[in-house]
Structure 1
C-alpha cells in the first residue's frame, strides 16, 4: 500500500465557523480548503457538538456520497499522523488497500496471525480470515468513525495492520519497504488511539 504523504506542517485545532465557511471546501485557497477538511474530520468523528453541527454533518455526508470519500481523503492526505484528519487519511489508505487486494490481505493476515495471536484477536476478524471477513472488519471500522468508540476503531485497525505486517515478513513476498510501511501504519494508528483516549487527538 502507498505510504502516507510527508508531514508538511504541525496540526492545529480546527476552527469551527458558520455553515457558510464549509463552502470553502470547494474553494481555491489551500489554507481554507485544508481547514475545511479538518472541520469535516471533526464532524465525522465527534458528531453533533453545538448548534449548527447538524447542517455541517449533512454537508459532509452528502459530499462523500456524491463526490466520493476520496475527495475528503485527498484534503486529509497532507495532515500529520497525530491529527484527526491525518488519522482518517490513514484509515482510508488501509480501507482502499484491503478492498483492492482482498486475497493478498487474507493471505498476509493468515500468515501473521500465528505469530501475533493477541493482535489477531483484537482485530476482530473471523477464523479463517478470508477476503470477505477482512472486508467486513474494515466496514465495521468505517461505521465506527461515524457512530462508535473511536479509540476502539483505531486500536482494532492498528492490530490488524500489525498482523498483516508480521505476515508480510513471514511470507517474504513483499519488499522490505512495503513491510516497514505497514508496520509504521500500525504504529501510527496505535499512537493515535492513545491520543484519542487522552482526548488529545485534534
Structure 2
C-alpha cells in the first residue's frame, strides 16, 4: 500500500537545528512527518540494498539521533512514531545483546502463541541472531510490505514482553527492585506491541499519519 504525501520541504541545517530546540510543537510535528515520509519514499524508490543497509546501520550510531529526537515525540498513529519504535527495538538489541537474547529465549518458551514463528528468529537465540533479526525487521520497513513488517515487529515485542515478565517473576524473590524494573520493561514492550499492531492496521487502510 502506498500513501500520497506532501513533498518534503528541504530546509537548511540551521533551520533544522532551530526546530529541534524550539518550543514550536507544530513545526516539530511537521518536520517529523516530512523526514519520516521522505526517508521511506527515498529508500523505497532507490531499492538499493547498500542504501537500505546504511539506513538500518544508523541505528548503531549517532547519525540519526537528531531526527529520532523528533520522531520520539510523535504518535504511534504516525509513520514517524512507528519508525522511532522500530529503531528503538534495534537500539535496545545493540545496547544489551546478551540480555535481549535471554529475554527473547525466555519469551519464546513462555508465550504459548505463534508469535515466535511470526518473528522467524533462528534457534537458539543468540546475541548475534537477535541483532540480525532486528536488522531484518528494520530493513523490512524500507523494502517489501510495511504492514507485514509491523506485524512481525509487534510479535517480537510480545515475545520480549513475555520474557521480561518471566524474568521478573524469577527476580522478585531475590531482588524486588530488579523485579519491578523488569515488570516495567515487560509493560513497555507490550505497549509497543499494541502500538505496532495498530500501526499495521492503519498502514493497510491508508490512515497512518
CA apart distance, 1:22: 8.4
CA apart distance, 1:164: 0.9
Partner residue of 2:132? 136
Partner residue of 2:119? 123
1:190 aligns with 2:186: no
Q: Distance in 2 between matches of 1:49 and 1:90?
A: 19
Partner residue of 1:114? 109
CA apart distance, 1:115: 2.8
Taking structure 2 as the reference length, the TM-score comes to 0.74
Q: Distance in 2 between matches of 1:22 and 1:171?
A: 45
**Superimposed CA distance per residue, residues 174-199 of structure 1 (whole angstroms, 9 cap, x where no aligned partner):** 42222111111111111111111212
Cα pair distance change 1:26/1:100, threshold 3 Å: same
Please list, as runs of the form range in 1=range in 2, the aligned pairs for 1:93-112 lying within 5 A after superposition: 93-112=88-107
**Superimposed CA distance per residue, residues 71-114 of structure 1 (whole angstroms, 9 cap, x where no aligned partner):** 11001111111111111111122111111111111111111112
Structure 2 contact 44–143 (Cα < 8 Å) conserved: no
Q: Distance in 2 between matches of 1:78 and 1:138?
A: 22
- Paired residues in the alignment total 179
Structure 1 contact 161–183 (Cα < 8 Å) conserved: yes
Partner residue of 2:143? 147
1:41 aligns with 2:36: yes
CA apart distance, 1:18: 4.1
Taking structure 1 as the reference length, the TM-score comes to 0.77
Q: Distance in 2 between matches of 1:168 and 1:49?
A: 34
Say what the alpha-carbon RMSD is for the aligned residues.
2.8
SS in 2 for 1:68: coil
Q: Distance in 2 between matches of 1:188 and 1:123?
A: 17
1:167 aligns with 2:163: yes
CA apart distance, 1:49: 9.5
Q: Distance in 2 between matches of 1:49 and 1:160?
A: 24
**Superimposed CA distance per residue, residues 3-26 of structure 1 (whole angstroms, 9 cap, x where no aligned partner):** xxxxxxxxxx96435435887433
Partner residue of 1:80? 75
Q: Distance in 2 between matches of 1:67 and 1:84?
A: 21
**Superimposed CA distance per residue, residues 122-181 of structure 1 (whole angstroms, 9 cap, x where no aligned partner):** 112101111101000111122222223211211111111100111111222442222111
1:19 aligns with 2:10: yes
Q: Distance in 2 between matches of 1:163 and 1:103?
A: 16
